[in-house]
Structure 1
């Protein structure tokens, strides 16, 4: 059933959503609801087609089923992150197992929804991610530390003049650290503010993403200068 229509974004160009799903009824339902909300919808019927369309079309967001023919959603997520890191991904899983959710998030997915799900819930997740990727404070468009330059508006990170591959969630975490420089941030706060949950399956995903940021941005990831661990509490950014 279609939900009450709300305004999805402030961008005059409708956001484009790629739905990678092999169940025709699910595809039809998602297309109807997304189009009713004002989004442009692209579809793919298997993992290989989904990856190809994502790379060719550069959608604003991908809704990706885990269980896909020809190539699993997890493998699509992994390859898409390696080749087009900035595209947000919401994983759909029917398994209901925490391990699938954790693996998907560690591969770089921005969010997950377990089948069967409420279309209202999925729409809320989509809008939240599109809001976060679009909304950057005007006064904080640029930030630099060490040999790192961050363009928050264009979602671009450059190290020593070379653009880095940064996943959508890694960038959102970096942006949150920059906007709260000097503050000690608990894992629970980071999960709530960056991932959008008060109750999350594990805080390990924060640690995993933080390790990746250190590997990409720190001169010596083993002895971090910018992303500091506050033992027993969380992390602090001092860049």
Structure 2
């Protein structure tokens, strides 16, 4: 998967864009300020960036100027509510590869990202090797993450991961996940499942610093795309 660093200060939009990027198969790092960007940005890893202009601690245009002055090889898409011709010209002159208004359809954002990937000749990371195996241990209910701290799990989270990790690389339907939780699919509030998946992703990310390798398959379910092992 290709990493995308997303800089957007509005919480709801940041969450929606992060989930959309996951659905497209990217690995988003979602940030809300210039300070966070400076602290988390890794030039060798983050070759794609989506940057808002109006941020709580400064202007995204200044960040773009600094990145280009430093010669960072990152593809940049501005995604901003400031969409006048003058704004777009300035953003492109300072080094953005593309400039989209926030009223743009998300499919346009997806196509722009894909075009940027092609133009930069980016290649997703190679499939996980055996040494990069994610191991779910159902006994103590912990997730062993390659190169990162072990994460303890709730019973619900462990059941969800067991359902997904038992079929690595395959699409698992929402019905299968709900039934793995011991619930009736038709009676189950789908928003509960969405909330649980979001919290699980955040928990793994906050405790391990790694992105949970689960892709949302739009209108279908989920896919665990890394090498996986389950221990009873």
Larger Rg: 2
TM-score (norm 1): 0.48
